[in-house]
Structure 1
Amino acid sequence: MPAPSPAPTGSGAPRFGVNYTPRTGWFHSWLDLDPDAVGEDLQAIASLGADHVRVFPLWPLLQPNRTLIRLRGLEDVRTVVDIAATVGLDVVVDAIQGHLSSFDFVPSWLATWHRRNMFTDPAVVEATAELVHSLSARLADAPNLVGLTLGNEVNQFSASNHPDPDVTSVAEAEAWTRTLLAAARAGAPGGMHTVANYDAAWFMDDHAFTPDQSASLGDATVVHSWIFDGTGQRYGARSFEVAHRAEYYLELARAFSPAPQRPLWLQEVGAPRSILTEQEVPWFVRSTFETAMQCPELWGITWWCSHDVSRSLADFPPLEHTLGLFDEHGRIKNAGEAFRDAVAAAREAAPPAPRGREIEFPVGRDPLLERSAAAPGGSVFEAWMDASRAGERPTVRVVRERAAITAGDTRTGGAAATRPVP
C-alpha cells in the first residue's frame, strides 16, 4: 500500500481508525507476543472499514533500564506493524506508555528509590528521546507507518491533581515535547508525529502543557474527547451537548492553531457505559461521527477501542470492560456495527460547510492560560452550545487579553480538569 502522507494538510477525505486493545491479555500481551492472535484482532478491525490502528507498546518492556533498549521489544512492535499491513491497515505507534486505562506503566528507574522527574531530569529526557528515536528508526521504512505519538496522555503525570506529580513549568513541558518530537523526526523523517495530551491541557488553568503547545507542536493537533469529563454528568446522556462534544473540542483546538490548514485529529473518542446505556451507544457513535465530520481540517477519527478488556483481569474501572467494538471473545457488538455503519456513511458525506459565528475565548497573556471557561459548564462551552443549538455552526476565536471571568461565575468550573484519566 502507498505510504501515508508525511505532511498532512487537513484536506482530502478523513481517515477512520481504531485504538487497538488486544483481545487476549490486554496490553500485557506485549510480554509474550502472539502474532496469530494479533492478526485475528487486526483482521476484525479491518472488517469494520477502518483504515488505521493506533498501537501501544509498554514503556517498561521497551526500556527496562535507562540505558537498555530491548531490541526484541522493538522487533515485536515492527511485527505488529507488518501484520497490520497484511490486512490493509496503516499504523500509529505510541512511543511512551505511560498510562493506559487507569494503570501507569512507568519504568522502575523512574520510581521509588530512583524517583526522578520524567519531564525535567536531563538524563531521563535524554534516555526517553533515545527510545523514541530507536523506535521510530526501526519503523521508518514500514510503508504503512503513519507516525509516532508521544505516549498516551503522558501529560497527566504533571497535573496538579495527580497523586504524585512531576512538577513542570510551561517552558519545561514545551522543551520536553520538542525534544521527543525531534527524536521521532530524526528516526522517521517521513512520519506524521504528534503529541497526545489529555484535556487538562485545554481546560486546567494551572497545567504546564498548554493548548498552544498541542496546536503548534507536531504535525497535527490531537484531541481526546470523553463525555465523562462532566459533559454527560451535567447535561445528560442524550443531550445536545453530548452529541456535539467532539465537534466543540475540535473547533476549540482549531482556534489555537497558528496555521489555518493544520490537521485536526480526534484520536480518542469512545462510548462510556458510565454515562450511556447500551441502547444509547449506536446513537452516540452516529452522532459523534456526524458532528465531527462538520469540522474543517479533520484528519481523522480513531475510536476507543477495539476489544473489551477481559473480565478475568482485575482492578479496572468497570467501564473499561465495555468500551470495545468487539467483546472479549471477539464477537462484534452493537457499538461495532454502529461504527462500521458510521464509517461507511462518513465516506459518502459531503465536505463540511464553512463555520459560522465566532465565540470569543479570552485566555489571557500569561503562560498559564485561563482555560477553565472552555470546559464543560464554562462560559465559552455554554455560548458555543447555545449558538450551535440555534443552527449558527459556531467556531471559537481566541482573544489574547486578560480573561474577563467574573470571580463568582459558577459556569467557569472546568469539570474536565478533575475527571479521571482513562
Structure 2
Amino acid sequence: MSTPHASTASTASTTSTTVPPSPPLRFGVNYTPRRGWFHSWHDFDPAHAREDLAQIAALGLDHVRVFHLWPLLQPNRTLIRTTAVDQLVHLVDLAAEAGLDVLVDGVQGHLSSFDFYPEWTRSWHHRNVFTDPEAIEAQTDLLRALGRALDGRPNLIGLQLGNELNNLVEHNPVTAGEVDHYLDTLLAAAREGLGGDHLVTHSAFDAAWYGDDHPFTPEASARKGDLTTVHPWVFSGDCARRYGPRSPQVLHLAEYGVELAKAYARDPARAVWVQETGAPEPHIPAADAPEFARATLLNAAGCAGLWGVTWWCSHDVDRSLADYPELEYTLGLFDSTGRAKPIADALAATVAELRAKPRSTPPRSTALVLECTPATRSVSGPGGGFFEAWMRLRTEGIRPAVVLAERAEDTAYLTARGVADVLRMS
C-alpha cells in the first residue's frame, strides 16, 4: 500500500498566524415533496408544498434545492409550458414565505434512480441530449425561460443546469470535449436569463470525480459555473460497506470531497458546495444516522472555501410508490407521514451549534499530491490508493489538502492555498 512521504522538491512557507473569520455557512435540504414525490407536479398543490416547507424551515435551515420535471416543462421541443413554469415560480414564492432561499435545477433529468426524458428525445425521435444541436438548443431555450421567470425573486440563490446530468451518459454517449461544449452552452443560456447576482451552476454524480474515463471530468466540475458542487455519497465505491458506517472514511467523506474538488480548481479561492449528502439505509443504519449527520457537518465545516451543505433529502419516498431502490425510501429528514426522524433533530442541533460561534478555518498546511490520468481517476475514490492515504493522514490528526501533481511545485499557488508541506505517494 502506498505511503505518503515528504517532498523535497516543493514547499511553500506561510508567515501569518492570524486566521480571518470565514463567511457564514449555508445549510439547507433538497426538497422532495412528501405526497406523491416529484409526480406531485402533475397536480401541484400549494397547500401541501407550504406544509412541507414549514417543516423544513422549523429545523433552522435556510434554503432548499427544488426540481421540476423536464417532460412537464417542455413536452415538445418548441413548447415550454407556461403553466408548469408558473408552478415552479409559485413554489419559490412559497419558500420565501417560509423564510427559505431556493436553488432551482432546470433539466430533470435524473432523480432518485429514475430518468425523465421528454418524448421528443426518445423512441423514433431519439436525440442524444448532449450532442444533438436541436436538443441542446431546446435545453438552452428552457433555461433562458426559467431564468427570466425567476429573475428578481429576492430569495433565489440561482439556477442550476439540472440534477446529476452525467447519470444520463449511459443512453447518450458523449466525449469529454462534447460535454465541455454542452456545459458551456447551457451555462451561458442560464446566465443570459438571470441577473448577475444569482449563481449559475451545474452538478454531477461523483463518477465525475472517481470514474475512470468518465466523460464528465473533475476539471469541468471545478472550473465551469460560479462554484463547484460535490455529491459525496457513501454508496459510491461501496464506501460505507467497504469501511463501515462509523469509519473515518465515511465520516470524513464530504470533507474529502471538498478538498478533492479544490485541487482541480484554477482559482484557489473558488467556493465548493456539498450539495448532496445523506444517510441511506442499509449503508448507514438508522441508529447511526444522527451521528453520521453530525460528523459530516462538523468535518465539512472545517474546509476553507465551503459555501454550505444541502442534505438529501427532506422527506422519505412513500412506500406506496413502487420500484425505487431500497435506499431511496429512507433518505428523508422526515418520514412519509411528516414525522421528524432522529436524524432531523441531530442535523438541526448541529446547524445551530455551528451558527452559534464565529467560523474560523485555518489553512491546511500539509497537502497530499494526486497523480492520476483520466484512465486512473479511480485512485482518488473509495478503495483507491490516494483516497486511503488521505484518510490515513486524517486519522493521524493531519488535515490534508489535495494538490494536483502539475501544481505541486507552483510556489505561488501553494502559498495562496496556505500549503507549507507537500507529501507524495511512494
TM-score, reference length from structure 2 = 0.88
Q: 1:289 aligns with which of 293, 297, 300?
A: 297
Amino acid of the residue matched to residue 278 of structure 1? A
Q: Does 1:178 pair with 2:196?
A: no
What residue is the counterpart of 2:404 in the other structure?
398
Please state how far the C-alpha of 1:172 moved relative to its aligned partner: 0.7
Q: State yes or no: 1:266 paired with 2:270.
A: no
Paired residue for 1:222, among 219, 222, 229?
229
The residue matched to 1:397 in structure 2 has which SS?
A: strand
The yes-or-no answer on 1:330 pairing with 2:341 is no
Q: CA deviation at 1:369?
A: 5.7
The one-letter amino acid of 1:212's match is E
Q: Which residue of 2 aligns with 1:207?
A: 214
For the residues of structure 1 that align with 2:347 and 2:380, how far apart are their CA atoms?
28
> Does residue 51 of structure 1 match 2:58?
no
| SS at structure 2 position matched to 1:149 | strand
Distance 2:93 2:339 in 1: 24
2:147 equivalent in structure 1:
136
**Does 1:386 pair with 2:392?**
yes
Task: Compare relative contact order (CA 8 Å, sep 6+) and give the higher one, 1 or 2.
Answer: 2
Once the two structures are superposed, what CA deviation does each residue of 1:230-276 show, in whole Å capped at 9, x if it has no partner? 21111111111111011011100011111111110000000011212
- Partners of 1:132 and 1:338 lie apart in 2 by 36
Out of 159, 175, 180, which is 1:169 matched to? 175
**Structure 1 stretches lacking a partner, 5+ long:** 1-9, 402-422
Report SS of the residue matched to 1:193: strand
In structure 2, give the amino acid aligned to 1:303.
W
Name the structure 1 match of 2:256: 248
Does the Cα contact within 8 Å between 2:206 and 2:233 map onto a contact in 1?
A: no
Secondary structure, aligned partner of 2:107: coil
1:73 correspondence with 2:84: yes
Q: Which amino acid aligns with 1:392?
A: I
Query: In 2, are the aligned partners of 1:62 and 1:70 still within 8 Å (CA)?
Result: yes
What is the TM-score of this pair, normalised by structure 1? 0.89
| TM-superposition CA deviations, 1:272-294 (whole Å, max 9, x none) | 11212111011100000010001
The corresponding residue for 1:411 is: none
SS of equivalent to 2:235: helix
- Larger mean Cα displacement after TM superposition, 314-323 or 138-147: 314-323
Return the letter of the residue paired with 1:106. Y
Task: Answer whether contact 1:228 1:274 (CA < 8 A) is retained.
Answer: no
Write the letter of the residue equivalent to 1:252.
L
Aligned residue in 1 for 2:240: 232
CA contact (8 A) 2:315 2:331 kept: yes
Alignment of 1:307-386 (within 5 A): 307-349=315-357, 350-364=359-373, 368=374, 370-386=376-392
Could you say which structure has the larger radius of gyration? 2
> Secondary structure of the equivalent of 1:182?
helix
For residue 189 of structure 1, give the secondary structure of its aligned residue in structure 2: coil
Deviation of the 1:198 alpha carbon: 0.6
> Does the CA-based 8 Å contact 2:22-2:361 persist in structure 1?
no
CA distance, structure 2, for counterparts of residue 13 and residue 291 of structure 1: 15
CA distance in 1, matches of 2:167, 2:331: 21
Does structure 1 residue 63 correspond to structure 2 residue 74?
A: yes
Counterpart residue identity of residue 227, structure 1: V
The equivalent position to 2:283 in structure 1, one of 275, 289, 293, is 275
Moved over 4 A (4+): none
Identify the residue that residue 7 of structure 2 maps to in structure 1. Answer: none
Match among 126, 136, 142 for residue 115 of structure 1: 126
Distance of 2:135 and 2:83 partners within structure 1 = 22
How far residue 371 of structure 1 moved from its aligned partner, in angstroms, is 1.1
Counterpart of 1:417 in structure 2 is: none
1:195 and 2:202 correspond: yes
Question: Shift of the alpha carbon at 1:11?
Answer: 5.1
Amino acid at match of 2:94: I
Matched, 1:97 2:108: yes
Shift of 1:223: 0.2
Instruction: Tell me which amino acid in the other structure corresponds to 2:377.
Output: R
Percent of aligned pairs with the same amino acid:
51
Distance 2:90 2:270 in 1: 31
Give the Cα separation in 1 of the matches to 2:211 and 2:330. Answer: 28
Query: Following TM superposition, by how much is the alpha carbon of 1:62 offset from its aligned partner in structure 2, in angstroms?
Result: 0.1
Deviation at 1:348, TM superposition (A): 2.6
Contact 2:130 2:174 in 1 (8 A): yes
- Tell me how far 1:200 sits from its aligned partner: 1.1
Q: Which amino acid counterpart does residue 307 of structure 2 have in structure 1?
A: W
